[in-house]
Structure 1
Amino acid sequence: MSTATDLPEHQAAATDTRALRRMQFGWYINDWANAAFSATVLTVFLGPYLTSVAKNAADAAGDVHPLGLTIRAGSFFPYTVSLSVLVSVAVMLVTGTVADRTGRHKELMCGFAYVGALATLGMFFLGGDHYLLGGGLLIVANIAYAVSVALSYAFLPGLAAPDERDAVSSKGWAYGYAGGGLLLIANLALFEKADSLGLSSGTAVRICLASAGLWWALFTLVPLFRLPSRAGVAPERAATDPAATDRATTDRPTAGSLRELGQTLRGMRQYPLTLLFLAAFLCYNDGIQTVVSQASLYGSEELGMSQTSLVAAVLLVQIVAIGGALLLGRIARRYGAKRTVLGSLVGWVITLALGYLMPGHQPAWFFALAAMIGLVLGGSQALSRSLFSHLIPAGKEAEYFSVYKVSDRGTSWMGPLVFGLAYQLTGSYRLAIISLLVFFVIGFVVLMKVPVRRAIEAVGNPVPERL
């Protein structure tokens, strides 16, 4: 009798486990899909290529004049990244509020992903002196990327128990670096064989840019079919309380989203410790993202690296970052996420100092620097994401992660602005890169002051065993 009674329970547990694994895989593949834009477009090809297009349009003084402004052609790319992020802040906040109020996280996430993918595909037509076209496509693609990724982060609390989030988040980042790295291998092969294929280097770059859009669009089909519509709802809650999703889609209409957004932003003041962590993250991660997004520009313009060396170095970052994300995830399991992130920030300071001192035209040294970046890159970001997921009040995942996403892969703005201004004022990319040290130092100091356990308790979430 007891065996017959127990059997359905085991079957139900197995079904729940399979459903959870299916959703986790869909979430991992979302990182696999959008990492192509981050790696191929933002990190490798678009910076140097758009800069060369801007230089084609520059006057005798080396300046371009978008919207009547006068800026150095070499500063156009970082300035455009900053502008795209400033616009994306408003779009992310409103969209995050709409998602939490309607429960349409997946539909909005995938919709923005396809807008970004189409804009990236459009970069195939970028050439000559049409730098404004490149800037416009970058702004659209980066805004769409930022919103889509912010919404994807909101799924994390519903995909893993508190003690499992570091591992799940780290695995997601590892998938992202694997996907981005795989496409980079293909793009490197194409770029190297451009002559034998009858392609100019510019055409090869444009094909590589467009390939990221195609990759992004194709693999976004997996999360589209595997993730639930609403984020932040654990599978067991969805099974036992189907009305939870219904309430999300009917009791909180889209029409009130702007009003509710204002209430959410004001409500964040109730959780000052969450805001303190957010301030630390926005600071140090802006430094991280600026190093990543401007590394190819620094390598080509200051260190004299060839396009082939740049692609190979970023590919090395992608490969090392897979192991780095998983390694730091295991370290966090023993020492806690906060201590592990603090240690990674020390590694970033050392890496940045070595980058400033690095001699030019030395690919071996550049590759060593790339390996150091990869080692600390994935883990510091993955653990920050999982740590923040504990500090969010239930039901506010998309809204809070929209604020968090102000500084994440490809969406930092303070760092690129400082980097661009430093180059604008000094004409030196070395001084521009070393100016980013301030972000890591301030971020480290502020993060040290965050009592994570008290912050989690303050928002009413269960506290993981190890922090």
Structure 2
Amino acid sequence: MTAVAERTDRARKGWYLYGWASHTFPTVVVTVFMSRYLTSVAENAVGRNGRVHVLGLPIAPGSLFAYTVTASTVVLVLLMPLVGAVADRTRRKRDIMLGCGWVGAAACVAMVAVAGTNWALGVGLFAVAFLGYSCSIVVSYSLLVDLSVAADRDRASSVGWAISYIGGGLLLAADFALSLFVDKPTLARIALCTAGLWWILFSLPVRRMLPRELGTGIGTARSGSLLAEGFGQLAATVRHVRGFPLTLAFLGAFLVYNDGIETVTTVAAQYGDKELQLSDTVLLLGILLVQFVAYAGALGVGRLGERIGAKRVVLGTLVVWIVAVGIAYELQVGVAWQFFALAGLIALVLGGSQALSRSIFSRLIPAGSEAQYFAFYEISDAGTSFLGPLLFGLAYQNTGNYRSALISLVVFFVVGFVLLLLVPVRRGIVAAGNPPPERI
């Protein structure tokens, strides 16, 4: 192996390691603990049928988490493209990724202080963690282009997702062991705090493994403040992206179906707890099962994408998602094996559908604008999205029924399937100036 190849291999391992470190946020914080714990803290304050008031608006405790995600995503619509523009312009992707990530991780560590009826502190800390994670992942996703060539991008993306699931799964396994000895509120506070500590600890070596500068930007700001230049670059990107309508078409399809994917995974623990009345032990085992099955699923779906084409495989996974939501609607209260079976089905397609979507999009980006374009992509993929949680929250607020709220999400998979089917991906890749793979 040449010296250049060795440096590239080391850098890619560093990128994988950051996925291992940071995936504790979507796995432990978002999917398992914060949705249920924030709901419980709000219920402690006003009761299950009461209302908390945010900026004068009455909100049901069961909708508070979904609305917090929605509000945070609105902020991301403005923030993430700016972060991506600065990252592309300065080439300081490593430092921006880690800096944003450590802010999010610190907020997770501080969640140990959320207790009793202090739901407002929980909302604030989660919002900061959500913003920090999302901005760091924007830059992380753009590194896929810098650290791989077109021929092995599907594989690199799938391996990255698979390793991320193992990282989140190992910490979740430790949380499961702890659940046997402590009460639910204590478990939640410790799990949220240790998710941040894990994130910080395992991302420390990443700074040594990744080069200081990556990408094809100018490397330094030429004049004025960096922030002003970032806004200028963002404006240029918005004008530029209009020249690639097929890239926008794929992004639109992804934004729709990924809303469904991320919202289902975000509210899964809340649904299992509040609607199916499953114990913490069952919920943790089910979601732990997802992490390790998803490891194999991401690798398997990635290989299938290489054989028959990534777009075809993603379309197939969306059909499975539609079936899975329908099954979830029919699950019986308190029946653990049904929950486990559904978790296994979802796990088989979860990582693969997201990894291959990321790989497809990376080919639709013109060279030199990776972080900026992935900022628009990540608005939907940052652990959850805007419309999905909003629809779920509104459905629950108006019906008081989690099953009705969940089944409403089917529309995202159906519409996303149709939109993706209509996108001529090969033409889009060529239009972006990139070589298309043999199979799409």
Which residue does 1:201 correspond to in 2?
Answer: 184
1:223 matched to 2:202? The reply is no
Aligned counterpart in structure 2 of residue 366 of structure 1, from 328, 335, 339? 339
Which residue does 2:244 correspond to in 1?
Answer: 271
CA distance in structure 1 between the partners assigned to 2:383 and 2:47 by the alignment: 29
Shift of 1:201: 2.7
Shift of 1:279: 0.2
Shift of 1:151: 0.6
Q: Which amino acid aligns with 1:294?
A: V
> Do the aligned partners of 1:358 and 1:365 also contact (CA within 8 Å) in 2?
yes
- Normalised by the length of structure 1, the TM-score is 0.92
Which residue does 1:24 correspond to in 2?
Answer: 12
CA distance in structure 1 between the partners assigned to 2:19 and 2:310 by the alignment: 21
Aligned counterpart in structure 2 of residue 42 of structure 1, from 30, 38, 42? 30
CA distance in structure 2 between the partners assigned to 1:60 and 1:181 by the alignment: 31
Deviation string, structure 1 residues 109-135 (Cα, Å, up to 9, x no partner): 100010001000010000000000000
Residues 59 and 299 (structure 1), Cα distance of their counterparts in 2 relative to 1, 3 Å cut = closer
> Do the aligned partners of 2:273 and 2:283 also contact (CA within 8 Å) in 1?
yes
Residues 60 and 122 (structure 1), Cα distance of their counterparts in 2 relative to 1, 3 Å cut = closer
Which residue does 2:229 correspond to in 1?
Answer: 256
Residues 170 and 37 (structure 1), Cα distance of their counterparts in 2 relative to 1, 3 Å cut = same
1:281 matched to 2:269? The reply is no
CA distance in structure 1 between the partners assigned to 2:91 and 2:238 by the alignment: 19
> What is the SS of the residue equivalent to 1:270?
coil
Aligned counterpart in structure 2 of residue 380 of structure 1, from 327, 343, 353? 353
Which deviates further from its counterpart, 429-438 or 218-227? 218-227
Shift of 1:60: 8.3
CA distance in structure 2 between the partners assigned to 1:55 and 1:215 by the alignment: 29
Shift of 1:231: 3.6
Aligned counterpart in structure 2 of residue 114 of structure 1, from 96, 99, 102? 102
> Do the aligned partners of 2:88 and 2:215 also contact (CA within 8 Å) in 1?
no
1:307 matched to 2:251? The reply is no
Shift of 1:465: 2.2
Which residue does 1:7 correspond to in 2?
Answer: none
1:341 matched to 2:329? The reply is no
- Normalised by the length of structure 2, the TM-score is 0.97
> What is the SS of the residue equivalent to 1:155?
helix
Shift of 1:59: 5.8
Residues 39 and 61 (structure 1), Cα distance of their counterparts in 2 relative to 1, 3 Å cut = closer
CA distance in structure 2 between the partners assigned to 1:187 and 1:436 by the alignment: 29
Which residue does 1:452 correspond to in 2?
Answer: 425
Q: Which amino acid aligns with 1:203?
A: T
CA distance in structure 2 between the partners assigned to 1:333 and 1:230 by the alignment: 30
> What is the SS of the residue equivalent to 2:276?
coil
> What is the SS of the residue equivalent to 2:259?
helix
1:418 matched to 2:391? The reply is yes
> Do the aligned partners of 2:266 and 2:384 also contact (CA within 8 Å) in 1?
no
CA distance in structure 2 between the partners assigned to 1:418 and 1:432 by the alignment: 8
Q: Which runs of 5+ in 2 are unaligned?
A: none
> What is the SS of the residue equivalent to 1:65?
strand
CA distance in structure 2 between the partners assigned to 1:388 and 1:397 by the alignment: 10
Deviation string, structure 1 residues 319-376 (Cα, Å, up to 9, x no partner): 1100000000010110010001000101100111100111111010001010011001
CA distance in structure 2 between the partners assigned to 1:458 and 1:252 by the alignment: 32
1:88 matched to 2:71? The reply is no
Residues 381 and 118 (structure 1), Cα distance of their counterparts in 2 relative to 1, 3 Å cut = same
> What is the SS of the residue equivalent to 2:374?
helix
Which residue does 1:98 correspond to in 2?
Answer: 86
> Do the aligned partners of 1:405 and 1:411 also contact (CA within 8 Å) in 2?
no
> Do the aligned partners of 1:154 and 1:231 also contact (CA within 8 Å) in 2?
no
> What is the SS of the residue equivalent to 1:248?
coil
Q: Which amino acid aligns with 1:434?
A: I
Q: Which amino acid aligns with 2:122?
A: G
Deviation string, structure 1 residues 385-405 (Cα, Å, up to 9, x no partner): 011000111110010000000
1:64-79 paired onto structure 2 within 5 Å: 64-79=52-67
Q: Which amino acid aligns with 1:189?
A: A
> What is the SS of the residue equivalent to 1:305?
coil
Shift of 1:89: 2.0
Shift of 1:456: 0.7
CA distance in structure 2 between the partners assigned to 1:232 and 1:273 by the alignment: 23
CA distance in structure 2 between the partners assigned to 1:154 and 1:363 by the alignment: 40
1:146 matched to 2:134? The reply is yes
CA distance in structure 1 between the partners assigned to 2:173 and 2:47 by the alignment: 37
Aligned counterpart in structure 2 of residue 353 of structure 1, from 316, 320, 326? 326
Which residue does 1:33 correspond to in 2?
Answer: 21
Shift of 1:58: 1.2
Which deviates further from its counterpart, 435-444 or 259-268? 259-268
Deviation string, structure 1 residues 242-293 (Cα, Å, up to 9, x no partner): xxx6x33245872322122112112111000000000000000010000000
1:293 matched to 2:287? The reply is no
Q: Which amino acid aligns with 1:257?
A: G
1:133 matched to 2:118? The reply is no
1:441 matched to 2:424? The reply is no
> Do the aligned partners of 1:33 and 1:217 also contact (CA within 8 Å) in 2?
yes
Shift of 1:228: 2.0
Shift of 1:301: 0.6
Q: Which amino acid aligns with 2:316?
A: G
> What is the SS of the residue equivalent to 1:461?
coil
> What is the SS of the residue equivalent to 1:303?
coil
Which residue does 1:242 correspond to in 2?
Answer: none
Q: Which amino acid aligns with 2:410?
A: L
Identical columns (%): 50
Q: Which runs of 5+ in 1 are unaligned?
A: 1-12, 195-199, 234-244
Which residue does 1:185 correspond to in 2?
Answer: 173
> Do the aligned partners of 2:91 and 2:215 also contact (CA within 8 Å) in 1?
no
